[in-house]
Homo-oligomer: A and B are copies of this chain.
């Protein structure tokens, strides 16, 4: 397989983007990406979107996006793995380039979630859970992650303050990110006094409903060198795994096995360990998710995610920064776009262009993009060459 580089990234400021349609978002992210890359060559593309059918009455984005981008006949693949659709779009684009099927491949992630009412959005998101055994009975994602949180508290003594600190840290980072949907710093009290959603999770433990898109342009390292891209950001590892879609089938609610396997596979492919990574973008759809994910990825031992967060290990200036972008919590979570945006943030950090939220000496990063309550996970290892 050929070595693959990322030569461009693009995303707009995320939020409630009433003036932009689904197709507008996808095309805008692609154009921003071309501008950043200094080339608009694409031989193929992938589109990550979780449920444009339920959110927008629009499937067939594999045709729609290249069409509205003005690229007739482009081979185009829409991939879906719930909230990991964006990561999967990047992974699929990676394989297209690595295999030699195409030389320049654009990966776009997009979700336009605010065109439906809150209950329809909650239903659409719940289709990432097991419809027959979870969603049909009325459980939605706040409830599923609340069960994970309760199990984690019970097993490891994780506290409400530790959960809250994930949101505080991510909002602090997001306040330095001009593209974040909610770029305001908050305090622990903001979280603890917010509306109870699904005990023990409160409003500020939850990522928001967001409209947004993100895009990355991949090509071979050889081509990237011809374009004189410096510093050169290379995808040295991709990892991907699935787990039971329903929580009831897990041996241990606190252990995200797909997250562990995907991260291990990506690191193994890169010939690295988690200790070689300088920071991570992690799927904090709920505060407990970041804690479980960092444990599954081996950043800390199981049960140590809460204490490490309180101790500042994962802060921008900590030993292992997590979610310098602000994460899903502050940056927003247009589900199909999230995994692509994680890559955009890593590229920005590795290039040293992250301004006030720049991590010092960032040379290697790992991403973790989760589907459902851990039913799937995609990780990428990115390094400077």
- Residues of chain A whose beta carbon lies under 8 Å from any beta carbon of chain B: 1, 21, 23, 50-51, 53-54, 56-64, 66-67, 72-82, 88, 92, 95-96, 98-101, 123-124, 126-132, 135-136, 240-246, 249, 257-258, 261, 371-372, 375-376
Contacts and interface: CB of A to CB of B under 8 A. Distances in A.
B99 A95 contact: yes
Contact of A60 (B60, B80, B240): B80
Contacts of A129: 60
The CB with the most chain B CB atoms within 10 A, among A82, A131, A242, is that of: A242
B241 A75 contact: yes
Given A57-B131, A79-B79, A95-B101, 13 more contacts: A1-B101, A57-B123, A57-B136, A59-B127, A60-B375, A62-B242, A63-B82, A63-B245, A72-B244, A72-B257, A75-B241, A77-B92, A98-B101
Majority secondary structure, A binding face: mixed
Given A53-B53, A82-B60, A242 B66 contact: yes
A1 B243 contact: no
A297 to B, nearest CB: 15
A368 B244 CA distance: 34
Contacts of A81: 60, 62-63, 76-78
A77 to B, nearest CB: 6
Contact of A240 (B54, B75, B78, B257): B75
Given A92-B92, A99-B95, A124 B242 contact: no
